[in-house]
């Protein structure tokens, strides 16, 4: 039995992991998939003062108060920044880090330096959030989804807090100074994060690297297979 902590990316929440978490729990694993403050069911908490570091601290508190150990930390997309801030806080409680199509900017680097969206329309901006329109989400971000799953996801998508859309200077620096048991899994049909970025992450961390034939949301399109992958990595 393994313990998983699943971190979501932009415009979604912990719900993005529901089908995969269900499969993992059927195998007897313990799974946590919280939404970050300001996201999904916590969208009413949008305010000044949110940060990647604060989101990470919430998860560190969860690990402490739940007495978790040998945790397999799984992050996807922009959730990689929260994982970077979190991991040094709970180093002794982590067994392995799994980066599933994950953005992992290095110190001094911005998400804008990595993500390529040359033909995509600009995001809608508010005081505290950014995000695509419903139409752009349907035809762009969630284009790989179909049927009831796509409708379900579109109904739950929310703008992402600006404060969680990029790390502030120093928030993730400590991560890159330490060594980790890590795996990088690239979703080969997704243009972002680019292959070069994910290979760089794997090389820098000395991580196990492989690719799967999936888009950016395998936890929705192939939840059973994704659960099997994560289980195998937890046992590595």
pLDDT digits (tens, 9 = 90+) for 34-59: 999 999 999 999 999 899 999 999 99
pTM for the model: 0.97
Query: Residue 116 has what pLDDT?
Result: 81
Burial (CB count <10 Å: 0-12, 13-18, 19+), residue 144? middle
Domain ranges, ordered by start, for the chain:
3-116+164-234
**Residue 121: pLDDT over 90:** no
Q: Are strands 30-32 and 129-131 parallel, antiparallel or unpaired?
A: unpaired
Beta-carbon neighbour count of residue 180 at 10 Å?
Answer: 19
Distance of CA 203 to the CA centre of its chain: 20
pLDDT digits (tens, 9 = 90+) for 159-174: 999 999 999 999 999 9
pLDDT digits (tens, 9 = 90+) for 57-96: 999 999 999 999 999 999 999 999 999 999 999 999 999 9
Spatial CA neighbour of 8 closest among 71, 81, 65: 81
Q: Which CATH number fits domain 3-116+164-234: 3.40.190.10, 3.40.50.1820, 3.30.70.360, 3.90.230.10?
A: 3.40.50.1820
The CA-based angle 119-123-129, given to 5 degrees, is 155
């Amino acid at each position: 039995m393994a313990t998983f902590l699943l971190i979501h990316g932009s415009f979604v929440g912990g719900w993005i992991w529901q089908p995969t978490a269900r499969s993992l729990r059927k195998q007897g694993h313990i799974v946590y998939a919280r939404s970050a403050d300001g996201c999904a069911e916590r969208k009413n908490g949008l305010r000044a003062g949110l940060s990647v570091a604060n989101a990470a601290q919430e998860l560190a508190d969860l690990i402490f108060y739940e007495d978790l150990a040998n945790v397999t930390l799984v992050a996807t997309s922009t959730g990689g920044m929260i994982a970077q801030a979190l991991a040094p806080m709970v180093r002794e409680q982590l067994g392995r880090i799994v980066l599933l199509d994950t953005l992992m900017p290095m110190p001094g680097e911005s998400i804008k330096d990595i993500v390529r969206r040359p033909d995509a329309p600009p995001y809608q901006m508010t005081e505290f959030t950014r995000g695509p329109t419903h139409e752009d989400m349907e035809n762009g971000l969630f284009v790989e989804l179909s049927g009831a799953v796509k409708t379900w996801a579109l109904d739950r998508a929310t703008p992402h807090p600006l404060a969680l859309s990029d790390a502030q200077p120093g928030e993730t620096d400590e991560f890159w100074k330490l060594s980790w048991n890590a795996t990088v899994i690239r979703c080969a049909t997704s243009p972002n994060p680019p292959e070069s970025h994910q290979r760089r992450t794997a090389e820098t961390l000395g991580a196990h690297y492989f690719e799967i034939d999936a888009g950016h949301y395998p936890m929705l399109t192939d939840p059973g297979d994704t659960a099997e992958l994560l289980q195998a990595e937890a046992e590595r």
